[in-house]
Amino acid sequence: RRGFEYVSDEALCLSYADGAVIPYPRPIGLSPWSAAAVGAAGGGAPAVGEALFTAEDLGSVRHDAPARLGHVVVLDRTGAGAGSPVLIAADRPSGVTLLLQQSFNHYRRGADAVRLAADVIGDARVWTLRYSDPLEAADLLWNSFVHDAGSRQKSGSPERSG
């Protein structure tokens, strides 16, 4: 709802040929709390313990064309009342590790998977997002990556809080 286009809820598909992000527009599963928090309580298609929503159900649009990965955000959800979310620059090797740890088929083409992860992360920025409230975290990401990205890139500021 903040203007991000939707690529996938579940999988980040990367092309071995050129590292492009290939959209995989699977519906996003929201818990009852999450659906209420984004104003979608009672909507979506029912599933066990959650409701499934398309990007359009949530007021967004699907990103249908291949894209380049610009940012990798490592989520660190802290306990309730932990304060405002903070976005901290992280090192690229931790981004490569994260991509490989989250991969479900890297063992099939091991050397290619490591090369692909390193190439993709080489062109991206890696961050750790510490947060307790996901809506505040979304606002911080929006403000950091979209709204004032130009001024942040000029200043080079590695740490932001919401």
Summarize pLDDT for 87-108 with one digit per residue, the tens: 999 999 988 988 888 887 777 8
pLDDT of residue 157: 47
pLDDT score for 152: 42
Give, in order, the Cα–Cα distances in Å from 93 to each of 15, 56, 99.
20, 35, 10
- Say yes or no to pLDDT of 119 above 90: yes
Q: What is the pTM of this model?
A: 0.73
| Beta-sheet pairing, 21-22 with 13-14 | antiparallel
- Beta strand pairing call for 125-131 and 50-53: unpaired
Nearest 5 degrees, angle CA 107-CA 9-CA 31? Answer: 125
Task: Please identify which residue in the block is written with the tokens 């997002």.
Answer: 129
